[in-house]
Amino acid sequence: MNNQFKKIHQVISSYIEINNEEWISYSSKFRVKEIRKKEIILSQGDICRDVFFVVNGLLRVFFVDNNGEEKTFHFSFENTFSTDYESFLKKIPSSYSIQALEDTTVVLMSFEMLHDGYKILRNGEKLGRLLAEEYFFIFNDKIQAIYTQSPIVRYNNLTRKFPNILQRIPQHYIASYLNISSVHLSRLKNSQ
């Protein structure tokens, strides 16, 4: 099996039963893309045509708010999916941009192939449901964290969960992710 598809196969297999034949047919439609650091693979306002699976590297999902300021919404690490799922599903302009923070390899899954999967794979609809549910869980946790945890607690949780995040992601992006200013994060860190 194409080595780049190994992990994605593993992830999908954890959701549904998929046999060899199905996988060969399904994965034949994957496309692979190399993205250079700082390159943007989805621009806010464009319709999001693909779900990206990060094989290696790192993506940043962000948007520009009404005051023209970038807000970092999510970091997509290796072996996770990244997309504007609402734009992707509804074919409406994306609210987010997605940018590579490092040279990154992604597997592209188009809307068409995902929807074909609903019919072609025996458990295609189930896969769709579980993916939607999984995405939902992420957002649910995110909202709860915002409501219940102070920025510094969220920061500590983040660095505990991803110990090398500080080596890979500039601190002001993390501040933006926490929805506080970079100055404030610096203060919080150095006074706790």
Partner DNA sequence: CAATGACGATAACATTTGTTATCAGTTTTA
Partner DNA sequence: TAAAACTGATAACAAATGTTATCGTCATTG
Residues 115-154 within binding reach of DNA (CB under 7 A): 150-151
Among 9, 49, 129, 172, binds its own copies (CB under 8 A): 129
Phi, psi of 30 (to 5 degrees): -60, 145
Residues 145-164 within binding reach of its own copies (CB under 8 A): 146-149
Q: Which stretch binds DNA (CB under 7 A): 10-18, 42-50, 91-99, 180-188?
A: 180-188
CB 5 → DNA: shortest distance, Å?
29
Confirm or reject binding of residue 92 to its own copies (CB under 8 A). Answer: no
Q: Which does 180 bind (CB under 5 to 8 A by kind): its own copies, DNA, none?
A: DNA
Confirm or reject binding of residue 111 to its own copies (CB under 8 A). Answer: no
Radius of gyration of the chain (CA): 18
Confirm or reject binding of residue 172 to DNA (CB under 7 A). Answer: yes
Interface size with DNA, residues (CB under 7 A): 19
Confirm or reject binding of residue 133 to its own copies (CB under 8 A). Answer: yes
Nearest to DNA of 45, 170 (CB atom):
170
Nearest to DNA of 96, 177 (CB atom):
177
Among 38, 60, 66, 113, binds DNA (CB under 7 A): 38
CA distances from 47 to 42, 95, 122, 136, 183 (A): 8, 9, 29, 20, 34
Among the residues of 28-170, which ranges form H helices?
A: 85-90, 111-120, 124-148, 151-161, 165-168
Collect contacts of 65-72 with beta carbons under 8 A, ≥24 apart: 70/176, 71/176, 71/179, 72/173, 72/174, 72/176, 72/177
Token couple for 156: 């500590």
Q: Which does 128 bind (CB under 5 to 8 A by kind): its own copies, DNA, none?
A: its own copies
Q: How many of the other CB atoms lie within 10 Å of CB of 170?
A: 12
